[in-house]
Amino acid sequence: MIGYVEGTISHAFADSCFVNVGGVGYRVFISALTRNRLKLGQQARLFTYLSVREDAMTLYGFLSQEEYDLFMLLTGISGIGPKVALGILSAIEPQAFCKAVGQKQTSVLVKLPGIGKKTAERIIVELHDKLGHFSSDDEEEMSDEHIAVESADEMTEVVQALVGLGYTQAEVLPVVKRLDLSQPIEVLIKQALREFMKG
């Protein structure tokens, strides 16, 4: 098993990156959390998991050991494969996820991509007693502000519109998350574009 890869980030895409290790470019699939922390041309070490199937070998990578550990716990749950686990980690911070599980907040978990009510309940049952080392001293109540991807139709439409204009999902999500979603879709798109123009 490949424990980690360390090299230069030569390319970055919406859900993956190329890590140049001694002249060999490894495609590593990453969460939005890791993607937003990577910088092109700089060295990085990604903790990795190699998924082996009959038709493919896929490498998943994470900047932090914490994110890697949570990914491994998620993939150990029936019905959650590597892609779904990566989607969950792209949609919510590890600490926020652990709080949701610890507080048995099914309503938070069902907002995550690929997670229905039954799977959310299964996550709580199977992980409730396994996330102690992820807990923080901050007992602030969980709120939707911690969710990077919400189920709101408005957010989905804005994200899809911006992706259609050529932006990546990893670029779009942090901007859209800051918008006031009570406004009309057209206004939200214009506001997001202004944010991108500011650089």
How confident is the chain (199 residues) per 10-residue block, as mean pLDDT?
A: 91 92 95 88 95 90 92 93 92 87 91 91 91 55 43 64 77 79 80 80
pLDDT at residue 93 in the model: 84
Is 48 in a helix, a strand, or coil?
A: strand
Amino acid, single-letter form, for residue 137: D
Nearest-10 Cα torsion for 11, 147, 103, 113: -70
- Cross-strand pairs, 43: 8
pLDDT at residue 120 in the model: 93
pLDDT at residue 7 in the model: 96
Nearest-Å Rg of the Cα atoms of the chain is: 17
pLDDT at residue 199 in the model: 59
